[in-house]
């Protein structure tokens, strides 16, 4: 897939560049609850009733409600009605199947347009990339990135451009999670792009166990390590199991105990796995609010005469994440295995929040044109160490930065609080952690 043609990320789309629409005034949706239609209100009540029925294990009632919602779903309706079509698709939905197949024929164009038009992926990548560049020490010659799920590699060209300016060599190690046939193409594209900039880049692939074994035998005195984990970003079209993510983060933490480096973490709703939702209805409603905001933001980003293009992008990049079956399976995974991702998992291991730089925040605000659009950039966290991309009041992407406490910090902390458990983990080393995610 040719995705490295330009990196200035100007708002563009092969779907909307005719002379008559070169200057588009996008509609701003009202945030007044009084404008919510009766149809949408009924739909939301039905969805809440469905979630409660599933939670109470009233299977027949849940089926009846799901069928009723399906009958009210509308491909051209409100965001909630379009979500309903994906949550509860009719048994025979020839229109949706045809639309998906037609959308696939223009996937490359749609992929590039989706990534450049909407800020979801670019926000996570920009913030993570800025954290890496700011963290690399001046004396280091080599930056080694271990990427959990590299996909098309679209995250790295802007970073490659930036790192080339400060004349560092780069290794990107892609973790092999499954049989991914596109890795060779991704490697070829990244290496070609780096060569055009005069950057020394090596791209390789290996399993987690192989990577750990190799890193244990290397001397990394002048090497800065980056463990990058992006999950659930819409352009990726997939997510990963919580257990896989946690295994990767534990390995990263262990290796950073011996070597200097950072962890960058980004994603969508996956980043909000900070609460173990014991009730399915709470989990369901959290997902519903998140995706309603995403559907609404996509609708805002398209003029009405490009509805078909918007629907095609929703079909390709949002629909894979919206399914009543997959939502239940995710909730059941958390409930049964008690495996919950927590962006604050580093608490208790001697890590301190590192304040986000104003430069990084300003870059993000400029990217989403805050003040001119309903997108918002928020700084959160105990020490201002979290940056959030939000649509109005709903968080879409979250970025956190953490720093391992130094020996001096540990001594001061030990004088005031009982941190025996914390120190057991900190004794093994220090470094910087930067975590980024989309609704994690």
- Kindly tell me if the per-residue pLDDT of 54 is higher than 60: yes
pLDDT digits over 121-171, tens only? 999 999 999 989 998 999 999 999 999 989 889 999 999 999 999 999 999
Q: Is the pLDDT of residue 277 over 80?
A: no
Chain centre distance of CA 154 = 13
- Given a contact cutoff of 8 angstroms between Cβ atoms, the answer to whether 423 and 350 are in contact is yes
Distance from C-alpha of 406 to C-alpha of 351, rounded to nearest angstrom: 9
Q: For 371-426, what is each residue's pLDDT tens digit? A: 999 999 999 877 777 889 999 999 999 877 776 554 434 444 344 333 233 233 33
Could you tell me the pLDDT band of residue 434, with boundaries at 50, 70 and 90?
Answer: very low
Q: Is the pLDDT of residue 35 over 80?
A: no
Instruction: Specify whether the CB–CB gap between 104 and 315 falls below 8 A.
Output: no
Record the pTM: 0.80
Helix (H) or strand (E) holding 162: helix 156-165
For residues 267-289, average pLDDT = 76
How is the beta sheet containing 201-206 ordered, strand by strand?
A: 201-206, 169-175, 142-147, 223-231, 261-267
User: What is the 3 state secondary structure string of 130-188?
Assistant: HHHHHHCCCCCCEEEEEECCCCCCCCHHHHHHHHHHCCCEEEEEEECCCCCCCHHHHHH
Higher pLDDT, 300 or 242: 300
* CB distance 162 to 256 below 8 Å: no
Residue-wise pLDDT for 304-335, tens only, equals 888 888 888 898 899 888 989 989 988 887 77
- Return the higher-pLDDT residue of 306 and 271: 306
* pLDDT computed for residue 50 by the predictor: 96
Q: How many helical (H) and strand (E) elements, i.e. helices and strands, does the chain have?
A: 16, 10
Output the CA angle 230-235-238, nearest 5 degrees: 65
The pLDDT value recorded for residue 33 is 44
Buried b (16+ CB within 10 A) or exposed e, 41-60: eebbebbebbbbbbbeeeee
- Is 148 within 8 Å of 248 (Cβ atoms)? yes
- Residue 10: half-sphere exposure toward Cβ, Cα within 13 Å: 5
For residue 423, the model assigns a pLDDT of: 30
Lowest-pLDDT choice from 34-38, 86-90, 367-371: 34-38
Mean pLDDT of 351-363: 83
Find the distance separating the first CA and the last CA of the chain, reported in whole Å. 27
Q: Is the pLDDT of residue 204 over 60?
A: yes
Sequence-distant (6+) residues with CB within 8 A of 159 are 125, 129, 132, 133
The per-residue pLDDT for range 224-241, each reduced to its tens digit, is 999 898 888 888 867 777
Q: What is the DSSP letter of 306?
A: G
Residue 24: closest CA among 33, 15, 34: 15
Q: Is the pLDDT of residue 433 over 50?
A: no
Greatest CA separation found in the chain? 69
Contact (Cβ atoms closer than 8 angstroms) between residue 128 and residue 266? yes
User: Which segments of 73-155 does DSSP mark as H helices, in order?
Assistant: 79-87, 94-104, 107-117, 120-135
By C-alpha distance, which of 168, 152, 149, 148 is closest to 160? Answer: 168
- Rounded to whole angstroms, how far apart are CA atoms 305 and 316? 19
Q: Summarize pLDDT for 116-135 with one digit per residue, the tens.
A: 999 999 999 999 999 899 98
Average model confidence (pLDDT) across the chain: 77
């Amino acid at each position: 897939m040719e995705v490295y043609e330009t990196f200035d990320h100007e708002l563009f789309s092969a779907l909307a560049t005719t002379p008559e629409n070169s200057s588009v005034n996008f509609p701003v949706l009202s945030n007044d609850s009084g404008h919510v239609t009766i149809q949408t209100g009924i739909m939301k009540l039905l969805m809440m009733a469905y979630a409660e029925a599933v939670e109470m294990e009233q299977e027949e009632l849940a089926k009846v409600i799901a069928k009723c919602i399906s009958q009210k779903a509308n491909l051209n309706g409100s965001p909630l009605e379009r979500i309903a079509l994906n949550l509860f698709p009719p048994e025979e939905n020839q229109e949706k199947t045809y639309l998906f197949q037609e959308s696939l024929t223009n996937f490359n164009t749609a992929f590039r347009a989706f990534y450049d038009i909407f800020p979801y992926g670019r926000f996570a990548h920009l913030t993570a990339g800025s954290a890496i560049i700011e963290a690399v020490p001046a004396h280091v010659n080599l930056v080694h990135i271990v990427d959990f799920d590299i996909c098309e590699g679209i995250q790295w060209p802007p970073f490659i451009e930036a790192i080339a300016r400060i004349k560092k060599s780069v290794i990107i190690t892609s973790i092999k999670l499954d049989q991914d046939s596109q890795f060779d193409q991704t490697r070829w594209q990244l290496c070609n792009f780096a060569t055009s900039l005069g950057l020394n880049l090596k791209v390789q692939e290996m399993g987690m166990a192989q990577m750990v074994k190799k890193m244990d035998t290397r001397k990394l005195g002048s090497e800065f390590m980056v463990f990058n984990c992006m999950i659930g970003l819409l352009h990726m079209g997939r997510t990963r199991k919580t257990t896989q993510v946690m295994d990767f983060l534990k390995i990263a933490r262990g290796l950073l105990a011996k070597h200097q480096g950072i962890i960058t973490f980004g994603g969508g709703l996956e980043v909000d796995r900070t609460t173990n939702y014991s009730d399915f209805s709470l989990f369901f409603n959290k997902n519903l609010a998140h995706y309603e905001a995403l559907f609404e933001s996509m609708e805002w980003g398209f003029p009405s005469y490009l509805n078909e293009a918007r629907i095609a992008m929703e079909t390709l990049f949002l629909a894979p994440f919206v399914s009543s079956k997959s939502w239940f399976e995710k909730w059941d995974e958390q409930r049964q295995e008690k495996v919950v991702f927590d962006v604050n998992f580093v608490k208790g291991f001697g890590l301190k929040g590192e304040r986000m730089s104003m430069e990084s925040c300003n870059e993000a605000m400029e990217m989403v044109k805050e003040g001119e659009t309903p997108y918002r950039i928020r700084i959160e966290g105990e020490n201002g160490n979290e940056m959030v991309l939000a649509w109005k009041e709903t968080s879409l992407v979250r970025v956190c930065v953490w720093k391992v406490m130094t020996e001096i910090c540990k001594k001061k902390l030990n004088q005031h609080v009982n941190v025996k458990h914390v120190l057991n983990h900190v004794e093994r080393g220090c470094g910087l952690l930067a975590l980024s995610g989309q609704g994690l």
